[in-house]
Amino acid sequence: MKVEQIYTGCLAHAAYYIENNGEAAVFDPLREVGPYIDRANEDGAKIKYVFETHFHADFVSGHLDLRAKTGADIVFGPNAKPGYEAIVAEDGQIFKVGNYQVKVIHTPGHTMESTTYLLIDDKGKEHGIITGDTLFIGDVGRPDLAQHVVADLTEEKLAAHLFDSLRNKIMPLSDDLIVYPNHGAGSACGKKMSTETTDTLGNQKKTNYALRADMTKEEFIKELLTGLTTPPGYFPQNVLMNIKGYESLDTIMDRATKALTPEEFEVIANETGALLLDTRENEDFAKGFVPNSINIGLESNFAMWVGEMIPDVKQEILFITYPGKEEETITRLSRVGYDHSIGYLKGGFESWKESGKEVDSVSRISPEELEKRYEDKPLIIDVRKKSEFDSEHIIDAVNVPLNEINKHLSEFPKDKPFVLHCAGGYRSMIAASILKQRGWENFVDVEGGLDEISANTQIPKTDYVCPTTLL
């Protein structure tokens, strides 16, 4: 049986495609559905079903657009209450895709509607399980997300459900089944996922801490909840979009692909109060940018950091990007529900600079220059995650995680200079752009972050400690 994993690194997200005898199914699609339709067309197949493992929190699914463009039926597991037409399957129900079978296994815990799909090939042999956020490689789904949407749920209740689902529904299955999860390392839906994106269930029973055979429910709950951090603020908003529905990506693209001259861009920014988002690489942003714009570069985990740093998915956005990157920017914003871009700067930042309008910049220093300054005991602020900081950091540095910066602005002094850094320069430039927008000028950013500091200087660091969580 051929199962095609379609992995998107910037979201650490995996969708799945199967096809047999002219019929196809897609599991947990992303917002842009063209690639799935093209894939089915290559096979001469019709997409019959769109299977959703649960109401996702970290991205907006493409199930509605895929149904609109192909006529496919949307399938959820038991307990789902979508605000649109869909099949809410029963536990154990079987769907036919050509001569393949897809069996519904209700596995509540990550959310109450969470469902695993057992794949059975055309010979009747069980091949694998598409587990959504129930079971990852090396981890299981965090049980604290649905409580932010459903009032009477607690993370303890959900963890208890997940324990039962894993023990009663997943672990009794055959060891040779292939596990196909919804996410890999880097996702905020689990705390220590592997970089591997598939494995056998038998190996997971041996190596996944949450599948230990001798684990009590109380031990499971304690270990699962230890090391969880507050989920990104956009998660509940994405859940509601997936439950209630949303605008077509075609409509969003039409609204956002408005090329604006520097003069038009400035007028609309002043009239609307739109957020100015610059998606260029941090090195280019530092050299010059439109005043008051925030830098979140497309080259890394763009969508996740947009979700972390922009509280409201309904925020109007004007963006600056490299010419030719406009549609990619709009698409990647829409993946996490930011559907209200209203235009972009025609010609990118160069057109703004050439117009003679005011330009801002961020001062940066090399790791070697920081080493020279280190003897004077400068204030160094590390904006990496707490787990990274606890694992290893520069002696006497202060940790203000980027995703908490807006709640801790008071920790950034205005009366003395300080130094910013992260691991590689991406996150510290986001922080720098926010501080510049809020009026700070008395800081420098370190080029290349801690990676380059470690490689090129003797600045003392704490002893390395293996992190217990990657959140």
**Mean confidence (pLDDT) of the chain:** 97
Backbone angles phi, psi at 230, to 5 degrees: -60, 130
**Tokens of residue 314, six digits:** 């309904």
Query: Which of 336, 331, 292 has its CA nearest to residue 433?
Result: 292
Q: Which residue has the higher pLDDT, 470 or 432?
A: 432
Among residues 321, 354, 387, which one ends one of the domains?
354
Query: pLDDT of 179-209, one tens digit each?
Result: 999 999 999 999 989 999 999 999 999 999 9
Q: Does 332 fall in a domain?
A: yes
Quick one: 339 and 369 in the same domain?
no
Euclidean distance between CA atoms 350 and 287, whole angstroms = 12
Domain that holds residue 308: 247-354
Query: pLDDT of 355-408, one tens digit each?
Result: 999 999 999 999 999 999 999 999 999 999 999 999 999 999 999 999 999 999
Quick one: 378 and 265 in the same domain?
no
- Cα dihedral 437/438/442/445 (nearest 10): -50
User: What is the domain count for the chain?
Assistant: 3
pLDDT bin (cut points 50, 70, 90) of residue 159 is very high
On the question of pLDDT at 90 being above 90, the answer is: yes
Looking at this protein, which amino acid is placed at residue 437? Answer: Q
Locate tokens 């596990």: which residue?
179
Euclidean distance between CA atoms 228 and 141, whole angstroms = 11
Quick one: 187 and 327 in the same domain?
no
**Tokens of residue 435, six digits:** 């501080």
**Tokens of residue 322, six digits:** 């490299």
Its sign, for the CA torsion 437, 440, 441, 444, is negative
Question: Roughly how many angstroms between the first and final C-alpha of the chain, as a whole number?
Answer: 35
Inter-helix orientation angle 63-70/34-42, to 10°: 50
Is residue 318 within 8 Å of residue 341, measured between CB atoms? Answer: yes
DSSP code at position 266:
H
**From the CB of residue 454, how many other CB atoms can be counted at a distance below 10 Å?**
16
Locate tokens 């600079």: which residue?
353
Query: pLDDT of 407-466, one tens digit each?
Result: 999 999 999 999 999 999 999 999 999 999 999 999 999 999 999 999 999 999 999 999
Quick one: 339 and 368 in the same domain?
no
Quick one: 130 and 221 in the same domain?
yes
Q: Does 175 fall in a domain?
A: yes
Q: CA neighbours within 13 Å on the CB side: how many for 287?
A: 7
Q: Does 242 fall in a domain?
A: no
pLDDT bin (cut points 50, 70, 90) of residue 32 is very high
Q: Does 432 fall in a domain?
A: yes
Q: Does 465 fall in a domain?
A: no
Among residues 305, 330, 354, which one ends one of the domains?
354
**From the CB of residue 154, how many other CB atoms can be counted at a distance below 10 Å?**
14
CATH number where 377 lies: 3.40.250.10
The gap from C-alpha 451 to its chain's centroid, in whole angstroms, comes to: 23
Q: Can you give the pTM of this predicted structure?
A: 0.95
Query: pLDDT of 100-111, one tens digit each?
Result: 999 999 999 999
**Tokens of residue 271, six digits:** 């009239």
Quick one: 268 and 342 in the same domain?
yes
Its sign, for the CA torsion 181, 187, 192, 193, is positive
3-state class (DSSP) for residue 429: helix
